[in-house]
Structure 1
Amino acid sequence: MIVSGDDPVSRGAQRFEVFTGAGKRREWPPEVKASIVAECYSGREGISAVARRHGLAPSQVYAWRRDLLKRLDVEGVVPPSAEPEAPAFVPAVIEPSTMPEPAPARRARRQRRAKGAAIELEIDGVSVKIGHDADAGMITAVIDALRATR
């Protein structure tokens, strides 16, 4: 069943390419191939996205990458890593509070439950509050960062 707006005819042509010459294959200069393969190593998008943007099949880009890696291996050059760098924490500067603590307010008869209940961690005199919506990975990362500063 074809839903209107779902078939290629109603969407219109997205790309139109005219092949000239005797062959029906496109010729890619080595510089262009290298540029497309280099985009795959940027870490911003995957090989499939790069291939789609250039009108290629992902298998073609994988083949170009494999050929490039073989050539680099023969020449003794270390290829770049395709894995993006792991995120790292920025060092935090913790300054003592210079403001006096406010006087405790009179409590009402009925106490309301705090909407933004938080987790408070104290490691080696450093106190950190984490919001109630933080996941376990975030809490673990904060604890690891605090331990690393010791």
Structure 2
Amino acid sequence: MIISGDDPVSRGAQRFEVFSGAGKRREWPAEVKASIVAECYSGREGVSAVARRHGLDPSQVYAWRRAFCDRFDAEGVALPAAGPQAAAFVPAVIDPSAPPDPAPMRRSRKRRRSKASAVELEIDGVAVRIGRGADAGMIAAVIEALRATR
């Protein structure tokens, strides 16, 4: 049952899509397919990277690989094992003229004190904040100076 005003014809177009692709299936020659599949076995890139570079979906490349493997099995041709490459080490070069790196600094486990003031005075609208460890003589001099300015 269609209710008037609810069908797509009466509402008009809501979305407009433009397809800029080839618009048809691409035909890949067997030589090109074999070349793309061989790139996957080189060990430098994965199947997804090879497919992306050629504008293909990885599932398409996997299907091509499977088809080539089935064909080679039927013909009795053995494919090389595509195992992971052995780890290689980079040679270390030690420069005797360079100074050695300093030992890493260890942080002490002491509790950090907050940097808040130990004493705060307000005299005639003037605020004085005195931090921890301040000299008693200096504190007395500041208070006397504030009293003298009144």
TM > 0.5: no
TM-score, normalised relative to structure 2: 0.45
Task: State the structure with more CA Rg.
Answer: 2
Q: RCO higher in 1 or 2 (8 Å CA, sep ≥ 6)?
A: 1
